[in-house]
Amino acid sequence: AFGDFFELQKIIAGKHEEDFARGFTEALIEYGLGRPFGFTDEDLANEILTAAKDGQHSVSEFIHALVQSEQFQRK
């Protein structure tokens, strides 16, 4: 349970950061590639997650990793 946005933010950042990052990555891949996320996207998701983690999970790191991927550039 949480009382406001800031408490929710602390919960996500503290306990569920990896889960949130994974869900965000899958949604970003779906949006960026214009198709549902599938099992063939697992390697791409892992590459994006690694790059984003190195960049302290900033949104720009997620996006940069996606647009630099071969899958995005071929679409």
Contact in structure between 55 and 13 (CB atoms under 8 Å): no
Mean pLDDT computed over 46-74: 94
Mean pLDDT to the nearest integer, 24-53: 96
The model carries a pTM of 0.82
Structural tokens at position 49: 């997650």
Please calculate the CA angle 18-10-67 and round it to the nearest 5 degrees.
Answer: 40
Q: Is the pLDDT of residue 20 over 90?
A: no
Report the percentage of the chain scoring pLDDT > 70: 100
Of the CA atoms within 13 Å of residue 1, those in its CB half-sphere come to 1
**Whether residue 60 has pLDDT greater than 80:** yes
Q: How far apart are CA 34 and CA 41, in angstroms?
A: 13
